Structure 1
Amino acid sequence: MFFNFIKKNKLLSFLIAIGFFAYFLITFPSGSYYCFNHQCGVYFWGAHEHDGIWHLAVAETAFSQWPPRHPVFAGANLSGYNIFLDLVIFILAKTGIPAIIWYFKILPIIWFILYTFLSLKLAEKIARSYWFKVFFLFFNYFGASFALFFTLYHKKSIWGSSSIMASQPLLSLVNLQFAFSLIFILLTLITFFEKNKIKKILIYSIIIFINLALKFYGGVVNLFLILGLILIEKNKLKEKLFSSVFIGAFALISLLIFYQPFSATKTGLPLIFSPFAMVHNLIEERDLFYLPSLVNARYFLYEKGFGPRLLAIELFSSFLFLFFNFGVRFFGLVYFLIGFFYKKINRLHLIIFLTIIFSCLLTISLIQKGMWWNTIQFTYYGLFLANIFAALFLTKLLSQKNIKLLFLAIFLILINIPENIDVLRGFNPSRKTSFIDKKELEALNFLKKRDDGIIFAPSLDINTIHKESAYVSAFTGKPTYFNDRHVLSITGVDWQSREKRIADVEKINLEELPVRYFYFLKKDKNYPTFIQKINSIKKYKKIFDNQEVLIFEK
């Protein structure tokens, strides 16, 4: 059957092969042992050097209790964070296959197979066209923004184009939770075609339960999508209300179990209403669509209060935000609007379009506490759904059998390629990246075998994996006293007071810290001070010492 598919679908098969190779380069090299220029250790590329390690820390550390404990803020529970996939990895690691292998090797392969299969299955249901399948799969793999225009204009280069707009499909596996949440968006749209009403509602309920647990942003967008799909069903109003409440109950249960909202909101709501904050940088940044006179006018109008001119500036900035982030998909949205004007669209397309608008409105209206720009992730799902309209648009161009439109379609495909090349360049194994030295791995493995206890592992003030990272927790399976302010700022813990306690190395009282292990890196500039202090405390004994690390135990 496999070879028969290749024989009948050579172009699709080629696209799938290229896609697998590209996604392979994004994830597989990270988390593996290499030697580059006589520097041996476990290497991580791109965002994996922070985000991947953080999720490994959760999988290795958090689930020895429930509610799960915080990997880098010992004594606190981990709440208000998407932990479901980390919990799954924790369970899978019980098979004897390490969590790092599941995260960087096995699960990405499983995801790619599911993502490709479900994309093709949905394409068959939306439009019975071979070219629609090709275009839909292409955009699902390699859709890109129009950031290329900025780097070409300002730098005369394509390099850097993948890092100045919203993350595009090829970066999906950098955030494994996001990648798997796309599977459930695809399942939602496929389930819409299910004939059995009861079965459909049950599937929707399971989907939203898991989707919210996987990724909050995706769960919210998918809930809107599902409720919209229920609304357009040819059912009685009472049935629609019952279905909506039933599915809403599953969503609420998922939130209560996996996010512990009452605990997570003690330090304030995670999302803050701040309209248009996300779109301002398009006209403020010199490397983007820089319009200083318009920026000055906006600030001037702020002083006067909200009015039509200020609204016009904000809407123009929002248009730029959508146009450059959506890239070719923006023309797909225009194609939908033309069809809507001429009443040539169906109800499913309408709900998908409204869901795209909903996702973008959330991004434009809200910021997140800690990392204000994190709400851009709502738009990721709008970009994904817009792949449908981009594929429909290009399929329409080809169907016109016009040579000019054919060349236009080819151009609109090719313009996506440079940004993807830039993505792959960032994950090139030959490029300088972060790694954990083999000598430090010896220390971490030693500590992993010791009894459970809190670790004090000072972060280094250098731009390496040691600066702001959960790597000690990830590789020992034990919580650390204080690490990774990036994560602490978005997990709802009151970390500032603890930071003050350890900020001044000269004044810190190591004896008062409620920890069992002290993990000192010898390349830390504060290492001599720490050693002088701990050697004066008789109740701590040295249990490990090599060229890189010194470990004491209480």
Structure 2
Amino acid sequence: MTTRQKFFLIFLFFFLLSAKNVFGRDSFVTVVNPVRGNELSDLGNPFFLEGVNKLLAPLNQKKIPAVWLLRYDAFSNKEGTTFFKKLVLERQEDELGIFLEITPLLAKMAEVAYPQGGVFWHDANKIFLSGYRPEERTKLIDVVFGNFKEFFGFYPKSVGAWHIDAYSAQYMSEKYGVTGVLICADQFGTDGYQIWGGWWGIPYYPSKYNILIPAQTKKNKIDAVVFWWAARDPNLGYGGSVIESTYSVQANDFLGHGLDTVYFRKLMSDYLFDNRNQFGQLTIGLENDNNWEKLGDEFDRQIEAVKQEINNGNLKAATMSDFSQWYRKKYNSFSPDHLVDGWKMSTDYRVGLDKGKIVDLRIYNEQWPEANLLTANPWGTLSLNNPYKIDTVRFNDSVKIADFEINKDELIKRFGSQKIPFKSNNLLLLLFYSSTFLLLTYFLRKNLSLLILVIFGSACLSLPMIKSGLVYPFGMGFWGPNGHDGVWHLALINQLKNFSLANPVFSGTRLTNYHFGFDFMVALLSQLTTLSPLVLYFQIAPLLMAVLIGVLTYKFVVKWVDSKKSAWWAMFFVYFGGSWGWLVSLFKAGNLGGESTFWANQSISSLINPPYALSLIVLLLGLIKLLDYFKNPDKKGLIICCVLFGILIQIKVYAGIIAIGSLFCLLFGSLIFYRIKFKEIFGLLLGSFLISIVIFLPFNLKAGSLLVFSPLWFPRTMLAYGDRLGWFRLESARIAYLNSGKWLRWVLAEGLALAIFIFGNLGTRVVGFFYGGLLGKSKRKITQIEFFLFGAVIISLVMPLLFIQKGNSWNTIQFFYYFQFFMAIFAGIVVGELWKTSGKKYQIFISVTSAVIIILTLPTTIDTLKNNYLPNRAPARISIEELEALDFLKKQTEGTILTFPYNFDWKAKFSEPRPLYAYETSAYVSALSAHRTFSEDEMNLEITGFEWKPRKAEVIKFFLTADQLWGKTFLQENKIKYIYLVKGQKMNLGLGDIGGEKIFENGEVSIFRVK
């Protein structure tokens, strides 16, 4: 043998020796035993360490390492700590970790409220971290990890529970270096825990948005490995009941089917010895609180089977941390593809095949958030579902023939990618905002102070709107009143897009007693641009209207008083005007706040009422054209003014009343000072009034009945309500004076309340009273435009002081918004005149005064933005799963939807951000599905004068009845095509009873179609 041949043989020997690592397959078994203490055990149960000793016996005998995941009550006592300290000294290959079930003691130690009530100690909202708010989860984790380290001297690398949410997993990975997370394998209906759509029993790196979805990019990857508890039989384990889910590697599961270790060996082969895969891994083990009499020695036989494979060189025993270390080193980017019998899994999809047919298909999107990622699960059950393209457990007829090559491109081509529904086009929005900024910069470049004010003012006015309607990891968020008012407008817009005046939330009726001019405008824009009403309403229209309000205010004041300084200040007050509520809040609570302490919303909230904002734009255009008309009263000017003032009533009825009333004041003034102009002004009033009548009366025949005479309701309730000013002593005194007949004191108390109401709401805009002698004698003739504006001020002040609205008493406060707007213009002129008339001698004084005005004006805007509209957590939301359902419903043929009546008790059940069905009665199903609903949004039905209570009673009867004939007749007579139910809502009648079929289902929503 030559030297070259010897060298070749030596090289071949070492190459073959390492071939297993290069081409072969590493297979691992991980023994994990969760250990519960006795905190939640029934009286008389064995001491928790007895079960541990039973688990230890075969492990000691076969010298198999194990992971012991300890619940808080298993190591927060002397017995547990001593036992497990000794155990890891004697069994140095073993690993200690944390079993993250929450117990009352742990919650108490973390100062977190433990959910009360429910049925079992193992209700999902009690024992899983997802039952708590994110900030509560971190407190619970910090306490349990801190105590673990205190008792054992180190932080654990491995944790487990039947469910650990992605938020908590990422937190533990980043803060405590956790590398392994054990969760329960796929099951549809076992123990009230639905975990459906993850990989079939194989470890992977999870997405930071969803523990059941493998990460597809590094930025969204949690650097920890998911292990599966109770891996299921790849064939028999797929199904909708506990029967299927108990075909698993768990001894207590398969024994119930009369199976034994032979079956277990078969599952070992499926998971560990499939040559198509790069590796194999299987987690086995038992909880310490099992029924050991029923188990017998089956666990011992499982360990024996594992030991035999280890001895044969086919298998390695590894703890969770050891396997995680191996996995993270070998696959440091993403998880490799894997096959288990008929299951094919990649980071992009999961396919279940059976005899050439696809029985299950999930196309993954790593940004699809899991249920309750950032919200607390209020239910005793768990519903974790990855969206599906095919799910034969839910829909048996959804099976497809697999007559094509299974790969990502082919699957997406045939079934589509998994897009997050209603997600906006960020590139489009960026283009819009950038273009708006550039255009403003170009046109206002010669007036830097004006440019800065327009940009900042428009941004501030827009911020309360633009965050709403976007999709976040917790769902579609809604800040402020957008969770009710915003979705109502969307429902209207979707109907008006079809040029229909049908009531979107009260099927079978026409829209009445509501001004829909703004909604019609957005509907037209949506038709013309093909942009979604959602994007137009929340992201585009607000900025455009904010810019126009500022620019038109500036243009009107310049045209009127010929002072750019006054125009700048008028625009400042229009953008930033606020109340003195922040002072009240500062003295009462030590912090800023109190935008509506005196009842009225302030400038910062202008755009959360889009019809009001649009009415200001039209009103300002009307005022600008009115100035032109006064100078040159031609027919063209008359028509334009009449149209602008006339259509206001259909945009915002309050603005229409003010405009017509102000024209009447102008007409009255012309009789005294401008008789020569009487004919022109009378024509203007008559034309505007006729247009108002024509476009208003057909839709508002009963509008007059909505107003209720109730003098000084706002000042009185301002004193009496704790969420307003809450000056209870003054309110008590006022009532006492009235009842005792002390009329002078009563008048003084009423007067004081009225003064507080007016001046408290105005804030720094109170300086507007110094305009043109409003507080004193005027030495000049009142101009025509002043007659109009003074009339507008008087009407907008007097109306809310005399009237409230039926249904929602406080709705007439919207008259007062216009009072604040006009006073902002007057205030701007006053301050501007101070700058204009003061000489150099007073420049410093005027500058300081202006700075003080700005400082005193801004707190309302700053605080309202900071506390109400900029926080990451919205008050209300529509979950991703509901968005998925509503998007599905939107694609169905037109038909009336029956929804469950709003349940007021649910508001307390959920924490923020609350789902809209628990937040407030609203029109969200109609708004997002673009269909009419049978009865929805009781608040607006009350405001618009519909008799909704009898219909609600019928709906309640339908969901409770067992009368098949009545139920079917109810659906047919009311032409109901769809029934929409969320988790916790149900009907007593079966689908067969009403001639219905299920057409959609996920973890939160079920939709039925009535045939």
Give the TM-score taking structure 1 as reference length: 0.90
Pairwise CA distance, 1:481: 1.6
User: Contact 1:201/1:247 (CA < 8 Å) preserved in 2?
Assistant: no
Query: What is the distance in 1 between the residues matched to 2:956 and 2:991?
Result: 20
Q: 1:71 maps to which residue?
A: 504
Report Cα offsets for 1:19-78 as digits up to 9, x if no partner.
23223322222212222xxx3x32222211111111000111356565x22111222221
Q: 1:176 maps to which residue?
A: 610
Structure 1 residues 32 and 338: alpha-carbon distance in aligned structure 2, compared to 1, 3 A threshold: closer
Q: Choose which of 451, 463, 466 in structure 1 pairs with 2:893.
A: 451
User: Contact 1:118/1:187 (CA < 8 Å) preserved in 2?
Assistant: yes
Q: 1:466 maps to which residue?
A: 917
Q: More strand per residue: 1 or 2?
A: 2
Structure 1 residues 432 and 183: alpha-carbon distance in aligned structure 2, compared to 1, 3 A threshold: closer
Report Cα offsets for 1:180-227 as digits up to 9, x if no partner.
000122122212221331233212210122211100011111222233
Structure 1 residues 256 and 427: alpha-carbon distance in aligned structure 2, compared to 1, 3 A threshold: same
User: Contact 2:619/2:645 (CA < 8 Å) preserved in 1?
Assistant: no
Q: Choose which of 974, 977, 986 in structure 2 pairs with 1:516.
A: 977
For 1:120-159, what aligned pairs fall within 5 Å after superposition? 120-159=554-593
For 1:80-91, what aligned pairs fall within 5 Å after superposition? 80-91=513-524
Report Cα offsets for 1:392-426 as digits up to 9, x if no partner.
22223334325344322221121111110122121
User: Contact 2:567/2:832 (CA < 8 Å) preserved in 1?
Assistant: no
User: Contact 2:897/2:933 (CA < 8 Å) preserved in 1?
Assistant: yes
User: Contact 2:896/2:931 (CA < 8 Å) preserved in 1?
Assistant: yes
User: Contact 1:56/1:99 (CA < 8 Å) preserved in 2?
Assistant: yes
Q: Aligned pair 1:419/2:854, yes or no?
A: no
Query: What is the distance in 1 between the residues matched to 2:982 and 2:599?
Result: 37
Q: Which amino acid aligns with 2:803?
A: L
Q: Aligned pair 1:506/2:943, yes or no?
A: no
Q: Structure 1: which 5+ runs fail to align?
A: none
Q: Aligned pair 1:16/2:477, yes or no?
A: no
Q: 1:241 maps to which residue?
A: 682
Query: What is the distance in 2 between the residues matched to 1:485 and 1:2?
Result: 42
For 1:462-541, what aligned pairs fall within 5 Å after superposition? 462-463=906-907, 464=914, 465-467=916-918, 468-503=921-956, 506-507=960-961, 510-511=967-968, 512-513=970-971, 514=974, 515-522=976-983, 524=984, 526-527=985-986, 530=987, 532-535=988-991, 537-541=993-997
Q: 2:643 maps to which residue?
A: 206
Pairwise CA distance, 1:429: 5.2
Q: Aligned pair 1:551/2:1007, yes or no?
A: yes
Structure 1 residues 342 and 235: alpha-carbon distance in aligned structure 2, compared to 1, 3 A threshold: closer
Query: What is the distance in 1 between the residues matched to 2:521 and 2:724?
Result: 40
User: Contact 2:772/2:778 (CA < 8 Å) preserved in 1?
Assistant: no
Pairwise CA distance, 1:11: 1.5
Pairwise CA distance, 1:305: 7.5
Of residues 179-188 and 81-90 in structure 1, the stretch that sits farther from structure 2 once superposed is: 81-90
Q: Aligned pair 1:316/2:752, yes or no?
A: yes
Of residues 178-187 and 502-511 in structure 1, the stretch that sits farther from structure 2 once superposed is: 502-511
Q: Which amino acid aligns with 1:139?
A: F
Query: What is the distance in 2 between the residues matched to 1:534 and 1:337?
Result: 74
User: Contact 1:339/1:345 (CA < 8 Å) preserved in 2?
Assistant: no
Q: 1:391 maps to which residue?
A: 828
Where 1:280 maps in the other structure, the secondary structure is helix
Pairwise CA distance, 1:325: 0.8
Query: What is the distance in 2 between the residues matched to 1:508 and 1:411?
Result: 69
Structure 1 residues 225 and 352: alpha-carbon distance in aligned structure 2, compared to 1, 3 A threshold: same
Question: Higher relative contact order by CA 8 Å / sep ≥ 6: 1 or 2?
Answer: 1
Structure 1 residues 44 and 297: alpha-carbon distance in aligned structure 2, compared to 1, 3 A threshold: closer
User: Contact 2:497/2:520 (CA < 8 Å) preserved in 1?
Assistant: yes
Report Cα offsets for 1:450-502 as digits up to 9, x if no partner.
22221111135433311311110011111112222111110110011122233
Structure 1 residues 13 and 365: alpha-carbon distance in aligned structure 2, compared to 1, 3 A threshold: same
Q: Choose which of 243, 248, 270 in structure 1 pairs with 2:706.
A: 270
Report Cα offsets for 1:138-158 as digits up to 9, x if no partner.
111111111111101111100
Q: Aligned pair 1:94/2:527, yes or no?
A: yes
Query: What is the distance in 1 between the residues matched to 2:807 and 2:888?
Result: 34
Q: 2:870 maps to which residue?
A: 428
Q: 1:260 maps to which residue?
A: 700
Over aligned residues, Cα RMSD in angstroms?
A: 2.6
Query: What is the distance in 2 between the residues matched to 1:47 and 1:242?
Result: 40
Larger radius of gyration between Structure 1 and Structure 2: 2
Of residues 448-457 and 381-390 in structure 1, the stretch that sits farther from structure 2 once superposed is: 448-457
Pairwise CA distance, 1:251: 1.6
Of residues 214-223 and 18-27 in structure 1, the stretch that sits farther from structure 2 once superposed is: 18-27
Q: 2:471 maps to which residue?
A: 33
Structure 1 residues 508 and 167: alpha-carbon distance in aligned structure 2, compared to 1, 3 A threshold: farther
Where 1:553 maps in the other structure, the secondary structure is strand
Where 2:512 maps in the other structure, the secondary structure is coil
Query: What is the distance in 2 between the residues matched to 1:61 and 1:342?
Result: 52
Q: 1:328 maps to which residue?
A: 764
Pairwise CA distance, 1:10: 1.5
Query: What is the distance in 2 between the residues matched to 1:241 and 1:396?
Result: 33
Q: More helix per residue: 1 or 2?
A: 1
Aligned residues: 539
Query: What is the distance in 2 between the residues matched to 1:115 and 1:406?
Result: 26
User: Contact 2:646/2:687 (CA < 8 Å) preserved in 1?
Assistant: no
Q: Choose which of 644, 647, 656 in structure 2 pairs with 1:219.
A: 656
Where 1:269 maps in the other structure, the secondary structure is helix
Q: Structure 2: which 5+ runs fail to align?
A: 1-438, 908-913
Of residues 323-332 and 99-108 in structure 1, the stretch that sits farther from structure 2 once superposed is: 99-108
Q: Which amino acid aligns with 2:448?
A: K
Q: Which amino acid aligns with 1:260?
A: N
Pairwise CA distance, 1:12: 1.5
Pairwise CA distance, 1:6: 4.3
Of residues 421-430 and 299-308 in structure 1, the stretch that sits farther from structure 2 once superposed is: 299-308
Pairwise CA distance, 1:306: 10
User: Contact 1:192/1:229 (CA < 8 Å) preserved in 2?
Assistant: no
Of residues 378-387 and 277-286 in structure 1, the stretch that sits farther from structure 2 once superposed is: 277-286
Report Cα offsets for 1:118-174 as digits up to 9, x if no partner.
112112123333321221111111111111111011111003435653111221110
Structure 1 residues 291 and 51: alpha-carbon distance in aligned structure 2, compared to 1, 3 A threshold: closer
User: Contact 1:221/1:359 (CA < 8 Å) preserved in 2?
Assistant: yes
Where 2:990 maps in the other structure, the secondary structure is helix
Structure 1 residues 499 and 303: alpha-carbon distance in aligned structure 2, compared to 1, 3 A threshold: farther
Q: Which amino acid aligns with 2:637?
A: K
Query: What is the distance in 2 between the residues matched to 1:333 and 1:21?
Result: 28
Pairwise CA distance, 1:364: 0.3
Report Cα offsets for 1:284-308 as digits up to 9, x if no partner.
2456555545423432454477955
Give the TM-score taking structure 2 as reference length: 0.51
Structure 1 residues 210 and 241: alpha-carbon distance in aligned structure 2, compared to 1, 3 A threshold: closer
Query: What is the distance in 2 between the residues matched to 1:305 and 1:220?
Result: 37
Query: What is the distance in 2 between the residues matched to 1:130 and 1:397?
Result: 13
Structure 1 residues 290 and 405: alpha-carbon distance in aligned structure 2, compared to 1, 3 A threshold: farther
User: Contact 1:332/1:390 (CA < 8 Å) preserved in 2?
Assistant: yes
